[in-house]
A = this chain, B = another copy of it.
Amino acid sequence: MAEVEKQNARQRILDVSIALFSKKGYTGVGVREIANEANVNLAMISYYFNGKVGILKEIFEYFFDRYLPIFDDINNAALTPETCFRQLVQKLIQFIRDNTELFLMVYNELPLDVPEVSEIKAKRIGELIQKMSGMMIRFGIDPEDRQLFSIVGPSLISAILTQFRLRPVIQHLFQIEPDESYYQRYTETICSLFLEGVSGIKSIAI
């Protein structure tokens, strides 16, 4: 009845699920909890998604549908590899900022065994690797060097993500409150780290 409530029920279930899954994990959340939080009748979950696992499937698809396009136009030949890289990092951070819970949830569920979604995961990660190989080449990394290939990309992602993953801990321990300038410097730090190594990073006492 409240205005924010009145997106359709289906979407509310998805939103609530993402939030809860990211905090407690897929198996740690019950459908009752989802239905309550989403102000939706319990049976609607089966009605719309054919059960709890249907929500997970849909979230995965939804995620990759929005995530993969980020890697589509990162190989602008007119720009230096460094510039391309910086643009990519910027886009990634922006995407994660806009979809923090979604991203965390997918990242956390990715290695877990839920048979019904393993096919989706395999297919989409294959696509992702395909898209990344172009940029790798520009950095002189041979995609056939599979070990190297499988280190740099995932490392970048998880390096960026770590900050969001540990947000509660970090905020509590360091009293950091992220604002726009925080993320600007964050982007620079990540770029420096990957382009020049730790020694390239400029420390700024806050």
A204 to B113, CA, bound (A): 33
The answer for the CA separation of A200 and B161 in the assembled complex, in Å, is: 23
Is A1 interfacial (CB 8 A cutoff)? no
Q: On chain A, which size bracket covers the interface? A: 35 or more
Query: Would you call A145 and B111 a contact (CB within 8 A)?
Result: no
Q: Is the CB of A195 within 8 A of B195?
A: no
Contact B112 A104 (CB under 8 A): no
CB–CB B185/A147 < 8 A: yes
A86-113 contacts to B (CB < 8 Å):
104, 108, 110-113
Bound-state Cα–Cα, A110 to B19, Å: 17
A-side interface mostly: helix
Give the copy number: 4
CB distance from A151 to the nearest CB of B (A): 6
In angstroms, Cα B24 to Cα A114, docked, is 7
Chain B residue numbers with a CB within 8 Å of A120 are none
Knowing A169-B125, A195-B199, A203-B140 are in contact, say whether A151-B113 is a contact too (CB < 8 A). no
Q: Contact partner of A203 among B145, B150, B194, CB < 8 A?
A: B145
Interface residues of A in 1-44 (CB under 8 A from B): 23-28
Question: What sequence of 0s and 1s flags, for each residue 140-177 of chain A, a beta carbon within 8 Å of any chain B beta carbon?
Answer: 11101111111110110111011101101110111110
Which listed residue (B110, B186, B195, B198) contacts A198, Cβ 8 A?
Answer: B195
**Could you write out 11 A-B pairs with CB less than 8 Å apart?**
A24-B27, A24-B112, A25-B25, A139-B199, A141-B201, A146-B206, A147-B174, A147-B182, A152-B193, A154-B162, A196-B197
A residues at B contact (CB < 8 Å): 23-28, 104, 108, 110-114, 121-122, 125-126, 129, 139-142, 144-152, 154-155, 157-159, 161-163, 165-166, 168-170, 172-176, 182, 185-186, 189-190, 192-201, 203-206
Apart from A26-B28, A139-B199, A147-B182, list 4 A-B contacts with CB within 8 A. Answer: A108-B111, A152-B198, A159-B159, A197-B200
